Structure 1
Amino acid sequence: MNNQTTSPAEGLEQPPSYDALLQRPKTALLLSEEWQSLPNKLRMNMATRPIPSRRGDTFRAALQWDAKLLARVKDMPRLMREGFHWSEANVCLEASRVDDATDINLLKKDGWKCCRLYYLSQLGDDPNWAAELVVCARDLKALAQFRLSDLQPEMVYSAWAVHYSPYPKAYYQYKFERLEPMENFNAVYDGMPMEGWWPWPKREDYPERTSEKDSLKMKKENGSMF
């Protein structure tokens, strides 16, 4: 009798554990009326190299995919202080889907044919943000091979935070353009280093501002801020 066990096929992805599934978001918070009505929006654009500098099929021909994250945020200064942290654990798996991008004019103009949508939210009892992540490609093969782990913070080539109050009046709280670094700004905390998926500023950009951020956190924890 052969007592040898068969190992999983090479390259076969294992399903998430039951405990991991229990900790994930159960609903797509962003789709609710409560979250859609929030005035604070944060958008981040990510892509493989080269960094996109303009729209158009010709220029984007070298890109395998392009990702756009749009978040609704309850408290933007809090998100800046705490950092924008997310991973696959923040995804509501049951709400993910593949869609036809040709019905979305902006995506169609950029030459994308299909997209995959993910819905994310901050974990915990008091989530501060909920988001939709749209990954665009020219064929289903590229989408089928894409994994959220392919995304890295350094792939963010543009980002901005906007407050709409009252709509359609809006003002910018934050702006980042990798190709136009002299125009980057944080209207709330200036050059305070921010963590996670915030692309700028980082500690290496303003090492002298690290103590400033620590001071802000301490004041917030002690209840002496605002």
Structure 2
Amino acid sequence: MDSPQRDIATEENADLEMSSNRSSQPTADVAPPAYDNVHASVGNNELRLCPNPPYLTEKEVKEQGSWYARLIFKTDNVPQLMREGLHWSLENVRWEDGYIEATPAESDRTPPDKEQIKYCNKLGLIKTRHYFLCDLQVPSQWVAHLQVYAAKNRVLANMRLGNLSRKNIYAAYAGCVDREQYIYLYDSFRPETWYNAIYDDMPMRGWWPWPKKKKRSQT
């Protein structure tokens, strides 16, 4: 069943959707691996987003009824996603799997998740909306879990994924086998810490926030 959200992608997000050569490939006619299938993952890979990076403050939450989001994606080939680009659009969302959680439970979360829940609780963002996404290629190259935190259900109900863009990304990392092993790191607040341990300064497309291909200056 199609979601009405599929019609609200903006021009600003056009360059973030799947490139034509990827979308022309056959789409999956079988279910992708379950998100909690450990065999579908190598490490933890995550994008963190908020309305106005570099980070979300308590003042913004109280004055604007703001939100904070984490896109956690699993893949067994991060370098491939670096070479081909990390692309997703509304077509990748498994709408019927989504739900809103009134009070996040900490007992079944991993340490990184508990850390983020503690941060969200401190900001008063105690409610969570969950989305699940998957790659449409055969076989699927990745699965993802998008968690959006807010103080009120109304903020979550009004959330529209078509309004998200790279401008909302304030941090990203990839390839964490544990909390000390990274192959990619981006923090909008600390540019001196950025690195790609595999491809250095190679421009990457889609939702990778850095590096990006430099625009040619007009003469």
TM-score, normalised to structure 1, is 0.71
The reply on whether 1:93 has 2:95 as its aligned counterpart is yes
The reply on whether 1:157 has 2:170 as its aligned counterpart is yes
Decide whether the 8 Å contact of 2:5 with 2:160 is kept in 1: no
Alpha-carbon spacing, 1:101–1:51, altered in 2? closer, same or farther (3 Å): farther
Name the Cα RMSD after superposition. 2.8
The reply on whether 1:192 has 2:196 as its aligned counterpart is no
Q: Quick one: distance in 2 between partners of 1:60 and 1:28? A: 35
Q: Which amino acid aligns with 1:117?
A: H
Q: Which amino acid aligns with 2:52?
A: R
Q: Which amino acid aligns with 1:57?
A: E
Matches within 5 A, 1:53-68: 57-58=58-59, 60-61=61-62, 62=64, 64-68=66-70
Which residue matches 1:5?
A: none
Aligned with 1:34 (options 28, 39, 42): 39
Q: Which amino acid aligns with 1:173?
A: I
The reply on whether 1:174 has 2:184 as its aligned counterpart is yes
Which runs of no fewer than 5 residues in structure 1 stay unpaired? 1-12, 208-226
Decide whether the 8 Å contact of 2:128 with 2:147 is kept in 1: yes
Report Cα offsets for 1:16-60 as digits up to 9, x if no partner.
69xxxx97985673133432xx2232111011025316xx63464
Report Cα offsets for 1:63-122 as digits up to 9, x if no partner.
611111111111011000000000111111121000024434423223202111001111
- Report the CA distance between 1:124 and its aligned residue: 1.4
Decide whether the 8 Å contact of 2:100 with 2:127 is kept in 1: yes
Alpha-carbon spacing, 1:103–1:109, altered in 2? closer, same or farther (3 Å): farther
Matches within 5 A, 1:20-169: 26=31, 29-35=34-40, 38-52=41-55, 57-58=58-59, 60-61=61-62, 62=64, 64-104=66-106, 105-106=117-118, 107-164=120-177, 168=178
TM-score, normalised to structure 2, is 0.73
Decide whether the 8 Å contact of 2:131 with 2:145 is kept in 1: yes
Number of residue pairs matched? Answer: 183
Decide whether the 8 Å contact of 1:47 with 1:63 is kept in 2: no
* Aligned-partner SS, 2:145: strand
Higher Cα Rg, which structure? 1
Alpha-carbon spacing, 1:134–1:24, altered in 2? closer, same or farther (3 Å): farther
Alpha-carbon spacing, 1:124–1:71, altered in 2? closer, same or farther (3 Å): same
Q: Quick one: distance in 1 between partners of 2:29 and 2:127? A: 26
Which residue matches 1:222?
A: none
> Percent of pairs identical after alignment?
28
Alpha-carbon spacing, 1:194–1:145, altered in 2? closer, same or farther (3 Å): same
Decide whether the 8 Å contact of 2:32 with 2:140 is kept in 1: no
- Report the CA distance between 1:144 and its aligned residue: 1.1
Decide whether the 8 Å contact of 1:90 with 1:123 is kept in 2: yes
